[in-house]
Amino acid sequence: MRVLVVGGAGYIGSVVTRILTQQGVEAVVLDNLISGHRESVPQSCRFVQGDMGDAGELDRVFEDGIDAVMHFAAHSLVGESVENPAKYFDNNFAKSLVLFEAMRRHQVQTLIFSSTAAVYGETNTSPITEEHPLNPTNPYGESKLAVEKAMKWYSRAYAFRYASLRYFNAAGAFDAVGEDHSPETHLIPIALQVAAGQRDELTIFGDQYPTPDGTCIRDYVHVADLADAHVKALRYLCDGGDSVVFNLGNGTGHSVKEVVAATERVTGKKLPVRIGSVRSGDPAVLVASSEKITRSLSWTAQLSSLERMIGDAWNWKQKYPRGYSFRGTH
């Protein structure tokens, strides 16, 4: 089997690529490297630097023979999406349609889509199931939902079979792949930057939420668990499974203060913390239920204890303190 991994030089996509390769699947990576890292792609994989919005480039890739597509190529900063929605609808939605049309031209009908639990918007329900109303509160979530809607209609009209996987926060590290964004906006890597002396302090955005310790609770899943779910979903579709939507969650969630405390335990470092203003639109609790995928595909978040995720990320950071900077391709 030959699988095109679009966005395969990104954090989650590159881990999926490694697991596919370990399982004997031929992975072809397409990435424009705007936020991905060439160094994260295994040398054994064919790498194409290109954009999924380039129909000609897609045709050249598909002409070599592709059996399925895994789609990770999205902008994902919520704040930026509010400030610049055009960027998000162009890349996340419009360019996805270019990809889908290339799949149609080359009769590729199997698609795994990296979606987001942000399609649910703000909710008082916890954990969130796949049946929860879809009401995104920012252009990022809206653009992902638009892709999901397009896939539904493509599935009906063109016999596409897809799996859309909705999750919140990937964490941890796998093999030589870790989390390295610029700018970094995610809590765990920011906490580790503070522990490593690369930031002066960590800001907690509000501590008066209706949660046990007053800080927001979020869902974290180990990046290797997420990758395992994507590969299981691919196997499911290749075995004839129908189009499906799955949440991927740890079932409980962790507060900001719990993440800080766990980071201090793992690293042995005391983190300077400042309480900042509440960010607009930050719900108190966001946790996704994964019962459906557990029942259907026997998937569980086996590596997603907080200490394991932080520990793996810390080990990666100690090995590569400046991330992918000044590293050779491996």
* Owner of token pair 């895994």: 70
E strand intervals along the chain: 2-6, 26-31, 46-49, 68-71, 110-114, 161-166, 169-171, 202-205, 217-218, 220-222, 244-247, 254-255, 273-276, 285-286
Structure confidence at residue 9 (pLDDT) = 96
Burial class (CB in 10 A: 0-12, 13-18, 19+), 327: middle
Structure confidence at residue 288 (pLDDT) = 92
Residues of the chain with pLDDT under 70: 281, 325-330
CA-CA distance, 9 to 17, in Å (whole number)? Answer: 9
Residues 6+ apart with CB under 8 A from 279: 205, 206
* Phi, psi dihedrals of residue 195, rounded to the nearest 5°: -60, -30
* Owner of token pair 């491996």: 330
Strand-pairing partners, residue 5, are: 29, 70
Q: Tell me the per-residue pLDDT of 83-133, one tens digit each, with 9 for 90 and over.
A: 999 999 999 999 999 999 999 999 999 999 999 999 998 888 889 999 999
What is the residue type of 123? T
Q: Tell me the per-residue pLDDT of 178-223, one tens digit each, with 9 for 90 and over.
A: 998 878 889 999 999 999 999 999 999 999 999 999 999 999 999 9
The CB-side HSE value for 132 (13 A sphere, CA atoms) comes to: 23
First to last CA, the chain: 24
Q: What is the pTM of this model?
A: 0.94
Domains of the chain: 2-171+220-249 (3.40.50.720)
Active site residues: 140
Structure confidence at residue 327 (pLDDT) = 45
Structure confidence at residue 278 (pLDDT) = 86
Structure confidence at residue 326 (pLDDT) = 41
Structure confidence at residue 139 (pLDDT) = 94
Structure confidence at residue 150 (pLDDT) = 98
Structure confidence at residue 226 (pLDDT) = 97
Structure confidence at residue 328 (pLDDT) = 42
* Phi, psi dihedrals of residue 276, rounded to the nearest 5°: -105, -175
